[in-house]
Amino acid sequence: MTTVAWREPARALPLRWGTYYGRYLAGLLYISGGLLILVGSNTYTVPFLLLGTVAHVGGWYILPGVGVRRIWMAWPSLISVWLLLTGPQILFAMALPLLAWLVVRQRPLLSYVTLVIPIGVGIVLANLFHTNQSEPVALAIECVAVVGSAWLARALALVRVRSVATAGAPPS
């Protein structure tokens, strides 16, 4: 039986600058930091809106991955984060950053089924939380759902690679 070691597709890309882990961690920091800055701001704090927007988009541009995917996927993610300014009723839009993550990280088609988790959690949270005062709690729960879905998508990619490897193996 042959085993295939799974490797992140983005790790195989030649990087023009930086290291894989450095860009990965910096990208995650800027994406999540930009999200927190944007969600914590309002029309009275316009500089923070600008800072959060630049940080969020910059994080997508820093992530290791195919350049075109990073450039195009930054915008749906930014739109969903901007929509979060309206309150917890739109939390299901957090599926867009997850979609962007799956595209940039080059996950197989099977892993896109995980998009239903943040959509479902967002709909449930919209029915439980109705005011902007409760948005931090609702956003924290939704972020856990998005991160968990991203890890589940990675696990599904691993399962797919292992099943393809065993399908091609000669019968024992």
Residue 22 CB-half CA count within 13 A: 5
- Give the per-residue pLDDT at 45: 87
Is the per-residue pLDDT at 114 higher than 90?
yes
Give the residue, 109 or 9, on which the prediction is more confident. 109
Domain ranges across the chain: 19-167
Contact 144, 91 (CB under 8 A): no
Confidence of residue 1 (pLDDT cuts 50, 70, 90): very low
Is the Cα torsion angle 60, 63, 67, 69 positive or negative in sign? negative
The DSSP call for residue 106 is T
Give the residue, 46 or 168, on which the prediction is more confident. 46
Is the per-residue pLDDT at 37 higher than 50?
yes
Mean pLDDT computed over 75-84: 92
Could you tell me how many helices (H) and strands (E) the chain has, helices first? 6, 0
Q: What is the pTM of this model?
A: 0.83
Confidence of residue 64 (pLDDT cuts 50, 70, 90): confident
Is the per-residue pLDDT at 5 higher than 80?
no
155: which 2 tokens?
């696990």
Amino acid at 132: N
Confidence of residue 169 (pLDDT cuts 50, 70, 90): low
C-alpha to C-alpha distances, 98 to 105, 144, 146, nearest whole angstrom: 10, 12, 6
